[in-house]
Amino acid sequence: MPRAKIWGIIAVLVSAFLFALSIFSFFILPEGNFGFFSDVNLMNLHPLTYYSAAVPLGLISLWVLATGFWIGWVILSIKVVPPMPEIVEKKDNSKIKAFFLCLITAGLAVLLVYGIYLRNFWALAIPALVISAVILGAVFWVGMAIITTRATLPVNKN
């Protein structure tokens, strides 16, 4: 088996295992120890310890939310003058959707900052889970593609 295929299998297995582990750790392991709105003894952490994890995670999450808000804002504020004929004929409700996109992302950003301020566990857990899901999902998907794609390179017998 080519070495790349072996790496592909490893990528699929490791990413699936790590994602399952994070789901297990976040949702199953605590087993009712804390509810969605309760803090999980994060108050006991030294502020420096807490914020060294919370600030980078919070910044990444805010950056993603800000991008969403910015997209909505651009769509809301862009002037399509004169409209292209093919656009005039159709009803485009993207401005309404963009308004809601701005509203939702702004709301989530406020919630995130407030959650971090309150030291709510989920304010850190949800962004961490989403970031892990994106990265592990990418690793998994590339691994699957490597396994299922036929190699066009000559197999290195060494």
Partner 1 sequence: MRVLISGYRGNPYCGGQGIYIYNLSRELAKLGVEVDVMVGPPYPDPLEEWATVYKIENLNIWSIKTKDIPYEKLVRIFSPWNFADYILTRLHMFPEMETYSFRAFFALKKILKEKRYDIIHDIQSLGWATVPMKGYGIPIVTTVHHPLTKDREADLMGNFGLWDKTTTILFYPLVMQSFVIKRLDRVITSFREGITELNKAFGVKPEKVSVVYNGMDVDLFQNTGEPREENALLFVGNTEDSKKGLIYLFEAMTMLPEDVTLTIVDDGPPKKMTAADMIKKFNLSHRVKFTGKLSYEALVSLYSRKTILVMSSLFEGFGLPAVEAMACKTPVVVTTAGSLKEVVTEDCGILVPPKDPIALKDAILKLLSDSELRKKMGENGRRRAVENFSWPVAAKNTLKVYEDVIREFRRKR
Of 21-29, 31-39, 106-114, 136-144, which segment contacts partner 1 by CB under 8 A? 136-144
Exactly one of 97, 103, 107, 117 binds partner 1 (CB under 8 A); that residue is: 97
Q: Name residues whose C-beta falls within 8 Å of residue 20's C-beta, 6 or more positions apart in sequence.
A: none
Instruction: Find the helix packing angle between 47-77 and 94-118, rounded to 10°.
Output: 170
- Compute the distance between CA of residue 91 and CA of residue 69 in angstroms, rounded to an integer: 23
29 versus 103: smaller Cβ distance to partner 1 = 103
Exactly one of 13, 29, 145, 155 binds partner 1 (CB under 8 A); that residue is: 145
**Residues binding partner 1: number (CB under 8 A):** 37
Of 2-10, 12-20, 44-52, 54-62, which segment contacts partner 1 by CB under 8 A? 2-10
The tally of CA atoms less than 13 A away on the side-chain side of residue 54 is 21
Exactly one of 20, 103, 134, 155 binds partner 1 (CB under 8 A); that residue is: 134
Whether the bond between 82 and the residue before it is cis, its omega within 30 degrees of 0, is yes
Q: How far apart are the first and last CA of the chain?
A: 11
- Tokens standing for 8? 């592909």
126 versus 131: smaller Cβ distance to partner 1 = 131
Angle at CA of residue 113, ends 15 and 128, nearest 5°: 5
At 9, which helix (H) or strand (E)? helix 3-23
Q: Could you give the string, one character per residue 8-47, with x where binding to partner 1 holds by CB under 8 A and - elsewhere?
A: x--x------------------------------------
Exactly one of 30, 83, 110, 118 binds partner 1 (CB under 8 A); that residue is: 83
What backbone phi and psi angles, to 5 degrees, belong to 80? Answer: -100, 85
Would you tell me which residues interact with partner 1 (CB under 8 A)?
Answer: 4, 7-8, 11, 67, 70-71, 74-75, 78, 80, 82-87, 90, 92, 94, 97-98, 101, 134-135, 138-139, 141-142, 145-146, 148-153
